[in-house]
Amino acid sequence: AKDVEVLTKLTTHNANSKTALLGYFEESSVRSYEQIAHVNGFTYFDSGSEGWKAMSKVAPNLAEKVNKEFLMKQIQAGKDIVLSSNPYEAIQKAKAGKGKSYAKELDILAKYGYKIESYGQF
């Protein structure tokens, strides 16, 4: 549990923002969620693809645990959470193998009473 806490701190960027961003990772793309979050100054999770692989080697579900802990911290902080990827397509895409983490994040948000609404360009 201590490892998860430390790794969550290391992978959380712009932690002081009142808004967090979730979406799909798209390698080397300005449309990837962490690029959009960085440009807008939103809080985001990013371990880099090498960091994610390294965590997965330590324990098969460690990266997922850290990702979930990141999201729980944003919920506990009462942050607005912006989605850079269409939430209505997430389940179909996850079934096809893309963005399983994103679909899980949306499930968690729904359980904690988050509702989907427009937010500027998102």
- Helix H, strand E, coil C: the string for 5-18 is HHHHHHHEECCCCC
CA–CA separation, 116 and 122 (whole Å): 10
The predicted-structure confidence for 3-38, as pLDDT tens digits, reads as follows: 999 999 999 999 999 999 999 988 889 999 999 999
CA–CA separation, 1 and 14 (whole Å): 23
The predicted-structure confidence for 70-98, as pLDDT tens digits, reads as follows: 999 999 999 999 999 999 999 899 999 88
Helices 2-11 and 48-58 meet at what angle, rounded to 10?
170
CA–CA separation, 72 and 89 (whole Å): 23
According to the model, what pLDDT value does residue 83 have? Answer: 96
Closest to 44 measured CA to CA, from 88, 77, 86, 82:
82
According to the model, what pLDDT value does residue 32 have? Answer: 93
Neighbours of 121 (CB within 10 A): 8
According to the model, what pLDDT value does residue 55 have? Answer: 93
Model-level pTM?
A: 0.90
